Amino acid sequence: MKVISVIGYKNTGKTTLVTKLVQELSKHGRVGTAKMMTDHRLDNPNADTGKHFDAGADMVTAVTNSELVSIQRDPSIEKAIDALADAGMDFAVIEGAKDKPIAKIVLGDMEEGVRNVVAKLPARSDWDLEELVDIIKEQPDHVTLDLLLKQIKETPGIEKVGGIGSFTGIVRVDNEDFRTSQLEFESYEKAAAASIQKIREEIMQQEGIIDVLIHHKVGTIKPLEDIVYIVVAAGHRQQLFPALAETLERVKSEVPIWKKEITVDGNFWVHDHA
């Protein structure tokens, strides 16, 4: 899923651009949106759903003839983006979230220091939507484990599968000799993609292996956040687990991705990244 954020001061046309992007991107796939709404409440405290939530429910789902709305505690834009990916969206357009490390289209004047800006546009203008769509398509994919599990269940030959196994690598904090504050991953994108594809194709040649999906994140990843996903579908568990382990070891040793450990005592680079 490609993710883009539209940011700008009040009355710069953010919502207008978001709706235009939704209309244009819908020609290329499924589109979801999210909006940062600080100090705003979506559910009416006098409605039944509001009363459920105020009573202490951790999640309230409301179903109408045309809508399904979920209200949850501990909100974050990251959770919203994950939910859109898990729902099978091809594109996510976010209104707001200027402090988040996602690609941004800036409308009008915005203070210096905003990161990940991919386009700066005049406020309330006739924007080139086709050019913006091309920019959005160039962004890295946002992938979740749930999305990969759904994808692998749609693979040709799934009727031969007797088991699906997955590995999720996360940022380990306690490393015995040091504590990790965060990790930074860098890669040669084309070379890394080619290496991952080679591993995938070779593992799939093994007897009983129906499909293999691999995704490794790059950029800054915080403690306990996910780093890498590997999903293997096989006819039998005896075929599945060795293939899953071999795929992981090959990703660690062969894919040109470098890890920088950011610790409380200093920083250093390592290649063993999972």
Q: In angstroms, rounded to a whole number, what is the distance separating the alpha carbons of residues 270 and 256? A: 11
pLDDT of residue 259: 83
169 & 263 share domain: yes
pLDDT of residue 185: 87
Report if residue 209 sits inside a domain: yes
Indicate the helix (H) or strand (E) that contains 63: strand 59-63
Report if residue 161 sits inside a domain: yes
Condensed to tens digits (0 to 9), the pLDDT of residues 170-227 reads 999 888 888 888 888 888 889 999 999 999 999 999 999 999 999 999 888 999 999 9
Report if residue 68 sits inside a domain: no
11 & 26 share domain: yes
Q: In angstroms, rounded to a whole number, what is the distance separating the alpha carbons of residues 34 and 50? A: 21
Boundary (domain end) residue, out of 114, 138, 162: 138
Domains held by the chain: number: 2
134 & 163 share domain: no
Boundary (domain end) residue, out of 138, 154, 184: 138
pLDDT of residue 48: 93
Sign of CA dihedral 118, 119, 123, 126: negative
Report if residue 120 sits inside a domain: yes
CB 217 within 8 A of CB 145: no
Report if residue 16 sits inside a domain: yes
Report if residue 54 sits inside a domain: no
Boundary (domain end) residue, out of 92, 111, 138: 138
28 & 79 share domain: yes
Q: What CATH number is given to the structural domain containing 33?
A: 3.40.50.300
pLDDT tens for the 274 residues of the chain, in order = 999 999 999 899 999 999 999 999 999 999 999 998 877 787 888 899 999 999 999 999 999 999 988 999 998 999 999 999 999 999 999 999 999 889 999 999 877 778 899 999 999 999 999 999 999 999 999 999 999 999 999 999 999 999 999 999 999 988 888 888 888 888 888 999 999 999 999 999 999 999 999 999 988 899 999 999 999 999 999 999 999 999 999 999 999 998 887 876 767 767 555 4
114 & 171 share domain: no
- In Å, what is the CA distance from 182 to each residue of 58, 245, 271? 29, 25, 15
228 & 174 share domain: yes
CA atoms within 13 A on the CB side of 67: 5
Q: Structure pTM?
A: 0.85
154 & 133 share domain: no
Q: Give me the domain span that covers residue 152.
A: 145-271
122 & 6 share domain: yes
30 & 127 share domain: yes
156 & 172 share domain: yes
Residue 112 φ then ψ, to 5°: -65, 160
86 & 149 share domain: no
Distance between start and end Cα atoms, the chain: 23
Q: What CATH number is given to the structural domain containing 177?
A: 3.90.1170.40
